[in-house]
Chain A
Amino acid sequence: MSYSREDVKAITDNVLNMAKADAVEVRFSGGERSATRYANSTITANLVEHDQEVLITVYYGQKSATTSTHQFDDTSLKSAIEQAQELAKRRPDNPELMPPVAPPQDYLPIDGALQAAVDFGPAERARLVKQSVDVCEKKGVLGAGYIPKLHWTDALANSAGLFAYYRYAEASFILTCRTPDGTGSGWAGTTGLKDVSRIDAAAISEIAADKALKSRRPRALEPGNYTVILEPRPAARFLSLMLFSLNARAAEEGRSFMSGAERGATKLGQKIFGDNVTIRSDVGNTVLRQTPIGPDGLGARPITWIEKGVVKNLFYDRYWAQKQQKPFTPTNPQQSLVMDGGTATVEQMVKSTRRGLLVTFFWYIRPVDQMTLLNTGMTRDGMFLIENGEIVGPVQNFRWNDGPARGFNNITMLGTPVPMHIGEAYDNPGTALVPAMKIEDFKMTSISPAV
């Protein structure tokens, strides 16, 4: 199901014409989410989901309320509008309420919906599964994979005349291979690709299968501090752990890692990470092709959050910016996220390591202490000991307790950034460009025989 600009404009115009209030905002989202999932080298789920929704927010002075509906006939829209109107009028004033964003907003032109991705259907996905399973069978491993596709449209319109529209289509290919005896497991994948021709199912399957075979019968190492080489997937998860701290309000309210020692102070301008850490929202990036629409419908712009380890910007939403008399930030930290890399390959990182660990995957990361960015998590799906520049064998998984506050001060090598999802699951937009990274002195605190 595809929603053109004209389709969506007609829907939002209809709501705006029907709703009477001081101001009205309509957020549209809709499209197709589909996926093929397989396990034990056979398809276990294959689906095509269609959904559509409008969120309707009405404003009366400093009062507002939001309702939603998935049906766009006049009766359903009228019911949602009237419910929002009634809720809003009965609400107490909210002094933090900001009026809808006024036009014009300048949105960077981004083509996020290439036709091949739009057309990427169950038959294409099944063919990729077949390619993958053929590799798995040749290698003697069991494949468990996931091929999600999104063809989605997001739009925002308001009674001030703003209309923002972004349609995109993307797919991922993610695979875990396990040995039949259950002693080896390997992961490989690529996510958030607008250009689906970049999905090489056979190559990904070769990597995951080889990792599974090489990780059989791992030996236990003592917990302790290790040099780690994080491949792009664990690097992306590690990067995600500092994004919430970029929120200016949390920092100035004294409840985040970016809070200063004194109430109201932040670490803006301070050097908190190593010289080799630069983190940006590169709106308009031609690989990511992500939305040009910023928070509340603002025209998003490229912004540098961390430059050579120094905090250059924090995210100010419109209310907090007004309260603190600072400019608002038109870009969310998660938007078009890029961590600058280097030129090292993972192989070069391995060769440069006297003793360390090559890490394929991080799992079940949860915060332990937000103020210090201390987190815990597990390694998974292939971890290997490096000695004197060579991979010498598989090792049992570790639980780690560490975080970017230490880790991003201990990076000694960076690879070329590649697309990789930063979230635990892969379903929503969340792919960033992330490099593999070599981090010294990483805290592994206990072992697990889990494979």
Chain B
Amino acid sequence: MALGEAKRLGCSYADIRFTRNRAQSIGVRNGLILRGGGGFGGGDATETYGFGVRVIHGGVWGFASSPLVTPAEITRVASVAVDVARASAVATKRDVQLAPVPAYDQFWQVEIEKDPWSVPLEEKVEHLRSVTSTMQKNASVLFAVASMSFEHEWKYLATSEGSFIEQVCHFADCVAEATARTGTQVKTRSFERLGGAGYEFLLKADLPGQAERIAAEAVEHSMAKPVERGLKDLVLMPSHLALTIHEIVAHATELDRIAGYEANYAGTSFVKIADVGKLKYGSKLFNVTADRTFPTGMATVGFDDDGVKAQKWPLVKDGILVGLQTNRETAHLVGEKESRGCTFANHWRNYPFLRMPNVQLEAGPKGSPNVDQMIADVKDGVLVDGMGSFSIDQQRYNGQFGGDAFWEIKNGKKTRMVSDFTYNAITTDFWANLDAVGPQETWEHHGLTGDAKGQPVQSNHPSHGSAPCLIRKIMVGAAYA
């Protein structure tokens, strides 16, 4: 219907994408249910269903969307999308070029072991209450918060080029968080795990098993002395590196940013198209892969919203930039004949555009040092776990990162927690100082939410994996100077 209307109105391309998103989130604070709860849904139980029609008319994009899924509305919205494209023609200089893609007629889904909606609400609440109860046993904990969120997404894409693709995704998120105050110093310690998975993911994360440690570390952090400012070696855990990789590798290698599409909001990139195959991004230990196929990945799919099959490809090899993230619209900018499949919209209401896949820092070879061995090799450094304050310039060059918990390393020993920690990274210098990457058995995968890009802004949720890493001689503590 939409495709027929678009064809009748003279479009060279059209697609219609239906999605239904069902979300549930539950939060408990000091044993009491929080209204809303946060997480994917941001409410107790939400459901949203609708469709978006995207067309190219006269070489120009048009997009319109609606939650009213009726034949008349689909026809109306298709014609609105065409009207929008026509209106744009007066201020458009270049025709959209799409890389070719085969037509697919397929169903794909994330395999899960346990449907979150099959677990009774009471069981979920008790699970969370047991977590906050354990944390509250520590008398110095002011607030104990635990939450879980689930999302189920069904999506159907039909294109004028003959693709009919149905997909089902699942996402799970769980958090335990303790806040302690000593004097006027207030610190929160968090444990969060996100994945493209079902209820089994939450059980494996084992919030109850983390609660006592989280509480104790929140209290210790609230009593910790500030880190000494200066150049230090950093041992960074995968739970922390996920955000660093996200900010200064994944975003920097998005081709739409490099080409200037995001100049008014998310920014451009220090990476240039001509840098591919030449730019020394990091040390020889630095190998980065883009991967839409990784099981439990938050950005794992069967097909992107252009109907391009999910794939895996290298971004950095032996420290040299070798690839970029592309979609059908941008592939031609780097002379590639096929898209890497990076087009996504976070909602039926929103237009699809280039979003990052899961971006992974590959583990070191067999026999690479583990965390204890890295610590033993550090005279003056800091061990960093979890994500905290983070900020990066619009070309992904100057970053300042905090974390969730920090331990001083002196003469090869982990000594005490420290506070007031941030480090500063100039992207290529930072990865050039990468001196060790842990082996495969220490590699972990961590999901993120809240990845903002585009206008109107859309929030994405990718994952980033790594092993623990040792980075030499990084400036720490400058934020508090």
Asked whether A364 and B49 contact (CB < 8 A) given A48-B80, A399-B400, A427-B455, the answer is no
A122-B44 in contact (CB<8A): no
B474 at the binding interface (Cβ < 8 Å): no
Nearest CB of A to B178, in Å: 12
B104 at the binding interface (Cβ < 8 Å): no
A46-B61 in contact (CB<8A): yes
Across-interface contacts of B88 in A (CB, < 8 A): 36, 43, 46, 122, 126, 129
Across-interface contacts of B349 in A (CB, < 8 A): 33, 49, 51
Across-interface contacts of A92 in B (CB, < 8 A): 33, 125
Across-interface contacts of B121 in A (CB, < 8 A): 87, 90-91
Asked whether A43 and B92 contact (CB < 8 A) given A37-B455, A52-B67, the answer is yes
Across-interface contacts of A367 in B (CB, < 8 A): 389
Size bin of chain A's contact surface: 35 or more
CA distance A424 to B87 in the complex (A): 29
Nearest CB of A to B480, in Å: 7
Asked whether A133 and B91 contact (CB < 8 A) given A37-B455, A45-B351, A91-B33, the answer is yes
Contact residue among B45, B90, B400 (Cβ-Cβ distance under 8 Å from A87): B45
CA distance A220 to B17 in the complex (A): 48
Nearest CB of A to B272, in Å: 8
CA distance A364 to B389 in the complex (A): 11
A126-B479 in contact (CB<8A): no
A176-B50 in contact (CB<8A): no
A376 at the binding interface (Cβ < 8 Å): yes
A425-B87 in contact (CB<8A): no
Q: Which of B207-215, B260-268, B376-384 contacts A (4 or more CB under 8 A)?
A: B260-268
CA distance A39 to B330 in the complex (A): 13
B452-A424 in contact (CB<8A): yes
A140 at the binding interface (Cβ < 8 Å): no
Mask of A86-110 contacts with B, CB within 8 angstroms, 1/0: 0100111011110000000000000
CA distance A57 to B337 in the complex (A): 52
A50 at the binding interface (Cβ < 8 Å): yes
B63-A47 in contact (CB<8A): yes
CA distance A374 to B36 in the complex (A): 28
CA distance A66 to B398 in the complex (A): 43
Across-interface contacts of B402 in A (CB, < 8 A): 368
Contact residue among A39, A185, A365 (Cβ-Cβ distance under 8 Å from B261): A39
**What total of chain B residues lie within 8 Å of the partner, measured CB to CB?**
86
A199 at the binding interface (Cβ < 8 Å): no
Mask of A1-42 contacts with B, CB within 8 angstroms, 1/0: 000000000000000000000000000000001011111111
Across-interface contacts of B67 in A (CB, < 8 A): 50-53, 70-71
Across-interface contacts of A46 in B (CB, < 8 A): 60-63, 84-85, 87-88
Q: Which of A144-152, A226-234, A272-280, A286-294 contacts B (4 or more CB under 8 A)?
A: A144-152
Contact residue among A127, A397, A425, A451 (Cβ-Cβ distance under 8 Å from B265): A425
Majority SS of interface residues in chain A? strand
A236 at the binding interface (Cβ < 8 Å): no
B48 at the binding interface (Cβ < 8 Å): yes
B366 at the binding interface (Cβ < 8 Å): no
Asked whether A123 and B398 contact (CB < 8 A) given A47-B62, A90-B121, the answer is no
Q: Which chain B residue lies CB-closest to A185?
A: B263
A401-B61 in contact (CB<8A): no
A33-B264 in contact (CB<8A): no
Contact residue among A261, A378, A401 (Cβ-Cβ distance under 8 Å from B184): A261
Across-interface contacts of B143 in A (CB, < 8 A): 253, 255
Nearest CB of B to A288, in Å: 21
A295 at the binding interface (Cβ < 8 Å): no
B46-A399 in contact (CB<8A): no
Q: Which chain B residue lies CB-closest to A48?
A: B64
Across-interface contacts of B478 in A (CB, < 8 A): 401, 445-446
B442 at the binding interface (Cβ < 8 Å): no
A144-B264 in contact (CB<8A): yes
Q: Which chain B residue lies CB-closest to A260?
A: B184
Interface residues of B in 334-382 (CB under 8 A from A): 349-351, 353
A42-B43 in contact (CB<8A): no
Across-interface contacts of B394 in A (CB, < 8 A): 363-364, 378, 380-381, 450
CA distance A42 to B95 in the complex (A): 10
CA distance A36 to B62 in the complex (A): 10
Not counting A70-B47, A71-B49, a sample of 8 additional A-B residue pairs whose C-beta atoms are within 8 angstroms of each other reads: A47-B63, A48-B84, A49-B52, A51-B67, A67-B47, A94-B32, A121-B87, A446-B398
What are 7 contact pairs spanning A and B, CB under 8 A? A33-B456, A66-B44, A90-B120, A92-B125, A259-B184, A261-B184, A366-B389
- Identify the 8 closest CB pairs spanning chains A and B, nearest first: A448-B398, A144-B263, A450-B395, A122-B87, A70-B67, A129-B91, A47-B63, A425-B457
**Contacts from A to B (Cβ < 8 Å):** 33, 35-53, 55, 64-71, 80, 83-84, 87, 90-92, 94-97, 121-123, 125-127, 129-130, 133, 142, 144-146, 148, 174-176, 178, 182, 185, 253-255, 259, 261, 363-371, 374, 376-378, 380-381, 397, 399, 401, 424-427, 445-451
